[in-house]
Amino acid sequence: MTDEQTQTHFRTCPLCEATCGLEITTKGDQVVRIRGDRNDPVSKGFICPKGSTLKQLHEDPDRLTGPMIRDGETWREATWDEAFAEIERRLSPLLEEHGHQALGVVLGNPNVHNLGGALFLRHVIKAAATTNIFSASTVDQMPKHVSAGAMWGDPSLFPLPDLDRTDYMLMLGANPYVSNGSLVTVPDFPGKLEAIQARGGKVVVVDPRVSRTAQSASEHLFIKPGTDIVWLLSLIHVLFAEDLVDLGHAAQWVNGVDDVRALAERYTPEMAESVCGIKAEVTVRVARELAAAPTAAVYGRIGAHTVTFGTLTSWATDVLNVLTGNFDRPGGVMFCSSPTTKLGGTPGGRGFKTGRWQGRASGRGEVLGELPASTLAQEIETEGEGQIRALVVIACNPVRSFPNSDRLDAAMADLDLLVAVDPYINATSRHAHVILPPLSALERSHYDMTFERTMIRVFAKYSPAVFATSRPDEPEILTRLALVLGGQGAHASAEDAHVAALTQLVEREVASDSSPIAGRDVAEILEMLGAWSWAEQIVDFRLRVGRFGDGFGANPHGLTLKQLVEDFPHGRDYGELVQRFPEATKTTSGQVDLFPEIVANDIDRLLAADFDSDGLVLVGRRHLRSCNTWMHNVDVLVKGKERCTLQVHPSDAETHGLSHGGTAVVSSAVGEVRAPVEVTQDVMPGVVSLPFGWGYDSPGIEMNVARSRPGVNSNALTDDQPLDEPSGTSVLNAIPVAVASVS
Helices (H) and strands (E) in the chain, counts: 27, 30
Asked if residue 668 binds ligand SF4 (CB under 6 A), the reply is no
Q: How far apart are CA 392 and CA 407, in angstroms?
A: 18
Q: Name which of 17 and 422 has its Cβ closer to ligand SF4.
A: 17
Least distance to ligand SF4, CB of residue 17, Å:
7
- Nearest by Cα to 203 from 323, 212, 211, 194: 194
Q: How many angstroms from the chain centroid is the CA of residue 473?
A: 23
Minimum CB distance to ligand SF4 smaller for 18 or for 83: 18
Tell me how far, at minimum, the Cβ of 457 lies from ligand SF4, in Å: 15
Instruction: State the minimum distance, in angstroms, from the CB of residue 186 to ligand SF4.
Output: 9
Smallest gap from residue 176 Cβ to ligand SF4 (A): 10
Q: Name residues contacting ligand SF4, limited to 529-588 (CB under 6 A).
A: none
- Only one of the segments 45-53, 403-411, 509-517, 536-544 lies at the binding site for ligand SF4 (rule: CB under 6 A); that segment is 45-53
User: What letters, b where the CB count within 10 A reaches 16 and e where it falls short, cover 501-536?
Assistant: bbeebbeebbeeeeebbeebebeebbebbeebebbb
Q: Are 108 and 272 in contact (CB under 8 A)?
A: no
Stretch that binds ligand SF4, among 47-55, 67-75, 95-103, 110-118 (CB under 6 A): 47-55
Nearer of residues 20 and 559 to ligand SF4, judged by Cβ: 20
Task: Considering the complex, state which of residue 433 and residue 622 has its C-beta at the smaller distance from ligand SF4.
Answer: 622
DSSP 95-116: HHHH-GGGEEEEE-GGGGGSHH
Q: Which residue in 34, 48, 260, 723 binds ligand SF4 (CB under 6 A)?
A: 48
CB of 20 or CB of 434, closer to ligand SF4: 20
Q: 278 with 231: CB under 8 angstroms? A: yes
| Minimum distance, C-beta of residue 20 to ligand SF4, in the bound complex (Å) | 3
Of 43 and 311, nearer to ligand SF4 (C-beta) is 43
Q: For ligand SF4, give the closer residue by CB, 12 or 729.
A: 12
Residue among 20 and 436 whose Cβ is closer to ligand SF4: 20
* 79 alpha-carbon distance from chain centroid: 32
Residue 720 near residue 375, CB atoms below 8 Å: yes
Provide the minimum distance between the beta carbon of 49 and ligand SF4 in the complex, in angstroms, as a whole number: 7
How many residues make up the chain in this entry? Answer: 743
Phi, psi of 546 (to 5 degrees): -80, -175
Q: C-beta of 68: minimal distance to ligand SF4 in Å? A: 28
State whether residue 163 is helix, strand or coil.
coil
Q: From 42-50, 160-168, 436-444, 507-515, give the range in contact with ligand SF4 by CB under 6 A.
A: 42-50
Within 161-180, the residues that bind ligand SF4 by CB under 6 A are 180
**Which of 658, 654, 693 has its CA nearest to residue 678?**
658
- CB neighbours (10 Å) of residue 268? 18
In the three-class reduction of DSSP (H, G, I as helix; E, B as strand; rest coil), residue 728 is classed as coil
Q: Is 47 in the site for ligand SF4 (CB under 6 A)?
A: yes
- The residue type of 599 is V
Nearer to ligand SF4, 19 or 147 (CB): 19
**Is 626 among the residues that bind ligand SF4 (CB under 6 A)?**
no
- Total residues binding ligand SF4 (CB under 6 A): 11
> Using the rule CB under 6 A, is 203 a contact of ligand SF4?
no
Q: What's the closest the beta carbon of residue 7 comes to ligand SF4, in angstroms?
A: 20
Given the rule CB under 6 A, which of 48-56, 107-115, 385-393, 717-725 is the region that contacts ligand SF4?
Answer: 48-56
d(CA 337, CA 343): 7
The Cα–Cα gap between 706 and 358 comes to 38
| Cis bond upstream, residue 582 (ω within 30) | yes
Min CB(24)–ligand SF4 separation in Å: 12
**Amino acid letter for position 36:** G
* 214 forms part of the interface with ligand SF4 (CB under 6 A): no
As a whole number of angstroms, the distance between CA 333 and CA 286 comes to: 18
- Please state the closest distance from residue 636 (CB atom) to ligand SF4, in A: 13
Distance CA 352, CA 344 (A): 20
State yes or no: residue 58 binds ligand SF4 (CB under 6 A): no
Instruction: Tell the smallest beta-carbon distance from residue 732 to ligand SF4 (Å).
Output: 21
Report CA torsion sign: 152, 254, 182, 406: negative
Cβ closest to ligand SF4, residue 20 vs residue 264: 20
Q: Whole-number minimum distance, CB 180 to ligand SF4, in Å?
A: 4
C-beta closer to ligand SF4: residue 121 or 627:
627
Contact call for residue 50 and ligand SF4 (CB under 6 A): yes
Closest CA to 157 of 426, 408, 368, 436: 368
Under rule CB under 6 A, residue 51 binds ligand SF4:
yes
Q: In terms of CB distance, is 18 or 592 closer to ligand SF4?
A: 18
Least Å distance, CB 192 to ligand SF4, is: 13
Spatial neighbors of 654 by CB under 8 A, at least 6 apart, are none
In angstroms, what is the C-alpha Rg of the chain? 25
Contact 328, 243 (CB under 8 A): no
Nearest-10 crossing angle of helices 494-510, 522-529: 130
Cα 87 to Cα 485: distance, rounded to the nearest angstrom: 9
Residue showing the smallest CB distance to ligand SF4 in the complex: 51
Minimum gap (Å) between residue 177 Cβ and ligand SF4:
10
Nearest to 313 by CA among 327, 298, 325: 298
The least CB distance from residue 47 to ligand SF4, in Å, is 4
Segment interacting with ligand SF4 (CB under 6 A) among 44-52, 76-84, 126-134, 718-726 = 44-52
Measured CA distances, 700 to 7, 171, 297, 389, 429 (Å): 39, 40, 46, 22, 9
Compute the CA torsion angle 288, 291, 296, 301 (nearest 10 deg): 60
Smallest gap from residue 14 Cβ to ligand SF4 (A)? 7
Site string for ligand SF4, 126-165 (x = CB under 6 A): ----------------------------------------
x/- track of binding to ligand SF4 for residues 1-30 (CB under 6 A) = ------------x-xx-xxx----------
- The residue (of 51 and 582) whose beta carbon lies closer to ligand SF4 is 51
- Which CB atom, from 231 or from 447, has the smaller least distance to ligand SF4? 447
**H or E element, residue 303:** helix 302-305
Task: CB nearer to ligand SF4: give 54 or 584.
Answer: 54
Question: What are the Cα distances from residue 574, in Å, to 55, 459, 559, 672?
Answer: 31, 6, 11, 51
Does position 113 interact with ligand SF4 (CB under 6 A)? The reply is: no
Binding region for ligand SF4 (CB under 6 A): 13, 15-16, 18-20, 47-48, 50-51, 180
